[in-house]
Amino acid sequence: MGKDLIVNYKNEPCYEIKIRNDFSDLSKSIQMMNEKNYLRICIVTDSVVEPLYLKNVILKLSVDYPDTYITSFVFDAGESSKNLSTVQKLYQKLIQDQFDRNDLLIALGGGVVGDLTGFTAATYLRGIDFVQVPTTLLSQVDSSVGGKTGVDFEQYKNMVGAFYMPCLVYINTDVLKTLPAEQISSGMAEVIKYGIIRDFEFYEWLDSNVDKVKSLDQETLEYLIYQSCKNKKEVVEEDPTEQGIRATLNFGHTIGHAIEKLSHFKLYHGQCVGLGMVAAAYISMKRDIVTEGEFFTIMNILDSYNVYPELKDINIEDVISATKHDKKMNGQQIHFVLIRGIGISYIDTTVTDQEMRDAVEYILSI
Ligand SMILES: NC(=O)c1ccc[n+]([C@@H]2O[C@H](COP(=O)([O-])OP(=O)(O)OC[C@H]3O[C@@H](n4cnc5c(N)ncnc54)[C@H](O)[C@@H]3O)[C@@H](O)[C@H]2O)c1
Ligand SMILES: [Zn+2]
């Protein structure tokens, strides 16, 4: 029943990822993660997830935590809430309810809830425990693992943050049933990314199981999420603070982030990463380090999972200039992730503006 992974940090076991198809193991898993007997638990969630799952989670927790004060904090769903003003309201709530360092926060929601709750947990009283209960595909396969937390500041995305590890990641695959199809496709971009950058076998599995994945078959989802988390875990264990190999997870993100910004975040993150992956694969093909055949299988798999939208009305020069403001720049050099075949990626600092222009022109033509 379910699958588990242990994530190490600095060569020591740090937290577990538990993949289940309901919430029934949640409180036992929290009890097993350390010796603490939490007196207060605050579940942080957003206005879309609250009516769907909050009651059920509180119910499950109160059975195993009869003497614990269980409360919740709900904010308006969406990236526009991922800021210091929401964090401030959460601090106020925690202070009012006298939360101290022996209490617990639970992030119940997508990447926005996870990033914001993690950041609050990292900074409130210099750090309190938090558990990730991710409810979007993107957060289950990517953002809940690895300890990156943070919020946006003014127009800058993820500008304020901390590396701060959760005590547990509890994934309930069943919640994906209520997730809109475009959000599933957006998460699939990051899933396929693992296959392209480091896991050819997984890539082939994804290629042959399109219908099963799309039908949200529970066993198929369990494997897909397990394999994705395993890939992310292996990368972050090797390079927890992105000094080297972790940067390959940014495959598709240089041009992807530029498009995301220029779309004023109207396009989903995964859709932009999908377009960015096409661009990066295109540059790799033009350099003859990826064959045309490999390039077109990548296009096919992204197509079958409806990962990228048709892109119109975008100015190529604006995209190039937006890539220069991305955090993936080191000094004046863009650290671009390219591939040498499917399953092998590396960081390249020699990608020229003209190569990027050609690639963006290509994605405008598809
Ligand atoms: N920390 C990291 O390593 C990392 C990595 C990637 C992305 N991120 C961050 O994650 C965020 C994006 O995450 P996201 O795509 O999960 O967005 P999100 O949290 O905004 O969720 C998308 C939408 O789906 C709704 N939702 C969530 N679960 C649902 C469910 N089960 N059923 C129905 N609706 C549901 C949410 O209310 C929201 O409206 C961004 O802020 C990004 O910066 C962080
Ligand atoms: Zn991403």
pLDDT at 35: 85
- Please, are residues 43 and 71 in contact by the beta-carbon 8 Å criterion? yes
The CA 193 to ligand 2 mean position distance, Å, reads: 9
**Is the minimum distance from the CB of 333 to ligand 1 under 6 angstroms?**
no
- CA dist., res. 303 & res. 299, Å (int): 6
- Among 102, 129, 107, smallest CA distance to 117 is for 107
The label of the residue with tokens 């496709």 reads 185
Would the pLDDT of 326 be above 70? no
The CA 254 to ligand 2 mean position distance, Å, reads: 10
- Among 65, 8, 75, smallest CA distance to 45 is for 75
**Ligand 1 pocket test: which of 21, 120, 143 has the largest number of ligand atoms within 8 Å of its C-beta?**
143
Closest ligand 1 atom to 82 CA: 41
pLDDT at 243: 86
- Among 133, 128, 144, 145, smallest CA distance to 36 is for 128
60 contacts: CB under 8 Å, gap ≥ 6: 23, 24, 26, 27
Q: How many CB atoms lie within 10 A of CB 159?
A: 13
**Is the minimum distance from the CB of 267 to ligand 1 under 6 angstroms?**
no
Instruction: Write the CA distances from 8 to 147, 235, 281, 351, 359, integer angstroms.
Output: 11, 11, 31, 34, 38
The CA 56 to ligand 2 mean position distance, Å, reads: 29
In 92-204 the beta strands, taken as DSSP E runs, fall at 104-109, 129-134, 148-153, 156-163, 168-172
- Choose between 150 and 243: higher pLDDT: 150
**Is the minimum distance from the CB of 175 to ligand 1 under 6 angstroms?**
yes
Query: Which residue's alpha carbon is nearest to atom 10 within ligand 1?
Result: 111
**Is the minimum distance from the CB of 179 to ligand 1 under 6 angstroms?**
yes
Q: Say what the pTM is.
A: 0.96
The helix-helix angle for 26-33 and 55-64 (nearest 10°) equals 50
pLDDT at 323: 93
- CA dist., res. 114 & res. 269, Å (int): 16
Closest ligand 1 atom to 150 CA: 1
Report pLDDT digits (tens) over 69-92: 999 999 999 999 999 999 999 999
Q: Which tokens hold the place of 174?
A: 């069943």
Confidence of residue 328 (pLDDT cuts 50, 70, 90): low
What single-letter DSSP state applies at residue 311? -
- CA dist., res. 245 & res. 235, Å (int): 7
- Please, are residues 151 and 160 in contact by the beta-carbon 8 Å criterion? yes
Q: Which tokens hold the place of 353?
A: 């503006």
**Is the minimum distance from the CB of 110 to ligand 1 under 6 angstroms?**
yes
**Is the minimum distance from the CB of 188 to ligand 1 under 6 angstroms?**
no
Confidence of residue 330 (pLDDT cuts 50, 70, 90): low
Strand partners, 146: none
Report the percentage of the chain scoring pLDDT > 90.
92
pLDDT at 155: 83
The residues assigned a catalytic role are: 126, 148, 190, 232, 242, 246, 250, 253, 257, 269
Would the pLDDT of 1 be above 80? no
Report pLDDT digits (tens) over 162-181: 999 999 999 999 999 999 99
Give the mean model confidence (pLDDT) for residues 201-227.
97
Instruction: Write the CA distances from 14 to 34, 78, 163, 310, 335, integer angstroms.
Output: 11, 30, 13, 42, 30
260 contacts: CB under 8 Å, gap ≥ 6: 267, 269, 272
Report pLDDT digits (tens) over 261-313: 999 888 999 999 999 999 999 999 999 999 999 999 999 999 999 999 999 88
Confidence of residue 327 (pLDDT cuts 50, 70, 90): low
